[in-house]
Chain A
Amino acid sequence: PEETVTSSFAAFIHAVRPEHLSKTVCHRSKRMILDSIGVGLVGSTTHVFDIALQYCRELYSSVAVSSVYGKPGVKLSPTLAAFTNGVATHSMDFDDTWHPATHPSGAVLPALLAASQMLPPSTKPNGVDFLLAFNVGLEVQGRLMHFSTEAHNIPKRFHPPSVVGTMGSAAATAKLLSLSAAQCAHALGIAASLAGAPMANAATQAKPLHIGNATRLGFEAALLAARGMEANPSILDDIPGCSGFSAFYSVYQPKPLSTPSDHHEFLLEKQDIAFKRFPAHLGMHWVVDAALSVRNLFINYAGSFSPSLIRTIVLKIPVSKYINRPFPSSEHQARHSFQFNACTALLDGEVGLSSFTESSIHRQELRELLDKVVVEHPEDNVANFDKMYGEVALLLHSGDVLTGKCDTFYGHWRKPLSKESLLKKFRSNASHVLPEEKIETIITMVDNLENLSDSSQL
Chain B
Amino acid sequence: PSQTITGNFASVIHGLNANHLTDQVIQRSKRMILDTLGVGLLGTSTEVCHKVTQYSKIYSSDISSTIWGHLDFRLPPLYAAFVNGVAVHSMDFDDTWHPATHPSGAVLPAVIALSEAFPQKKKISGLNLLLAFNVGIEVQGRLLRFSSEARNIPKRFHPPTVVGTMGSAAACAKLLALDQLKCKNALAIAASYAGAPLANAATQTKPLHVGNAAKHGLEAACLASQGLQGNKQILDMESGIGAFYTDYNPQALPTLQSYPWLLDQQDVAIKRFPAHLGTHWVADAASSVRRKLVESSDNLLPLDKIEKVILKVPEVKYVNRHSPTSEHEARHSFQFVACSALLDGSMSVQSFASENVHRPALRELLCKTQLEHPPDNTPSFESLYCEVSVILRDGNTISDRCDTFYGHWRKPLKKEDLEKKFQSNASSVLPAEATEGIIETVYNLEKVEDCSVL
Residues of chain A whose beta carbon lies under 8 Å from any beta carbon of chain B? 48, 51-52, 54-55, 58-63, 77, 156-159, 162, 186, 189-190, 192-201, 203-206, 209-210, 213, 220, 223-224, 227-232, 234-235, 239-248, 250, 321-322
Q: Is the CB of A227 within 8 A of B54?
A: yes
CB of B58, distance to nearest CB on chain A (Å): 5
Q: Does B359 contact A (CB under 8 A)?
A: no
For the complex, give the distance between the alpha carbons of A245 and B231 in Å. 25
Report which residue of B188, B194, B229, B244 has the largest number of chain A beta carbons within 10 angstroms of its beta carbon: B229
Number of residues on chain B facing chain A (CB within 8 A): 62
For the complex, give the distance between the alpha carbons of A243 and B199 in Å. 5
CB of A441, distance to nearest CB on chain B (Å): 30
CB of A261, distance to nearest CB on chain B (Å): 30
Within 8 A of A (CB), among B201-251: 201-205, 208-209, 212, 222-223, 226-231, 233-234, 237-244, 246
For the complex, give the distance between the alpha carbons of A197 and B244 in Å. 9
For the complex, give the distance between the alpha carbons of A250 and B243 in Å. 11
A193-B239 contact given A60-B61, A206-B228, A206-B229, CB 8 Å threshold? no
Could you jot down 8 A-B contacts, CB within 8 Å?
A55-B223, A59-B222, A193-B208, A198-B239, A200-B234, A200-B243, A241-B155, A243-B155
Using Cβ atoms and an 8 Å threshold, which residues of chain B touch A235?
A: 197, 199-200
Contacts A62-B59, A194-B196, A198-B191 given; 8 further ones with Cβ under 8 A? A60-B59, A195-B196, A198-B234, A198-B239, A198-B243, A201-B191, A205-B228, A229-B204
- Interface mask (B179-190 → A, CB under 8 Å = 1, otherwise 0): 000000100110
**Count: A-B pairs, CB below 8 Å:** 193
For the complex, give the distance between the alpha carbons of A230 and B195 in Å. 19
Using Cβ atoms and an 8 Å threshold, which residues of chain B touch A228?
A: 51
Q: Does B404 contact A (CB under 8 A)?
A: no
Q: Is the CB of A231 within 8 A of B317?
A: no
Report which residue of B192, B315, B317 has the largest number of chain A beta carbons within 10 angstroms of its beta carbon: B192
Using Cβ atoms and an 8 Å threshold, which residues of chain A touch B304?
A: none
Using Cβ atoms and an 8 Å threshold, which residues of chain B touch A206?
A: 185, 188-189, 192, 228-231
For the complex, give the distance between the alpha carbons of A157 and B240 in Å. 8
Q: Is the CB of A243 within 8 A of B157?
A: yes
Using Cβ atoms and an 8 Å threshold, which residues of chain A touch B60?
A: 62
Using Cβ atoms and an 8 Å threshold, which residues of chain A touch B230?
A: 201, 204-206
Quick one: which of A159, A198, A227 contacts B244, CB cutoff 8 A?
Answer: A198
Quick one: which of B61, B157, B223, B226 contacts A62, CB cutoff 8 A?
Answer: B61
For the complex, give the distance between the alpha carbons of A269 and B399 in Å. 64
Using Cβ atoms and an 8 Å threshold, which residues of chain A touch B202?
A: 232
Q: Does B146 contact A (CB under 8 A)?
A: no
A193-B188 contact given A200-B234, A243-B156, A247-B156, CB 8 Å threshold? no
The 8 closest A-B pairs by CB, nearest first: A244-B199, A241-B317, A206-B230, A200-B240, A193-B196, A197-B192, A198-B243, A247-B197
Q: Is the CB of B51 within 8 A of A224?
A: yes
Using Cβ atoms and an 8 Å threshold, which residues of chain A touch B353?
A: none
Using Cβ atoms and an 8 Å threshold, which residues of chain B touch A61?
A: 61-62
A231-B76 contact given A63-B59, A206-B231, A243-B156, CB 8 Å threshold? no
For the complex, give the distance between the alpha carbons of A321 and B244 in Å. 19
Quick one: which of B59, B62, B203, B226 contacts A232, CB cutoff 8 A?
Answer: B203
A232-B205 contact given A206-B189, A242-B155, CB 8 Å threshold? yes
A48-B228 contact given A241-B317, A247-B197, A322-B239, CB 8 Å threshold? yes
A201-B231 contact given A55-B226, A224-B55, A243-B197, CB 8 Å threshold? yes
Using Cβ atoms and an 8 Å threshold, which residues of chain A touch B362?
A: none
Using Cβ atoms and an 8 Å threshold, which residues of chain B touch A192?
A: 196-197, 199-200
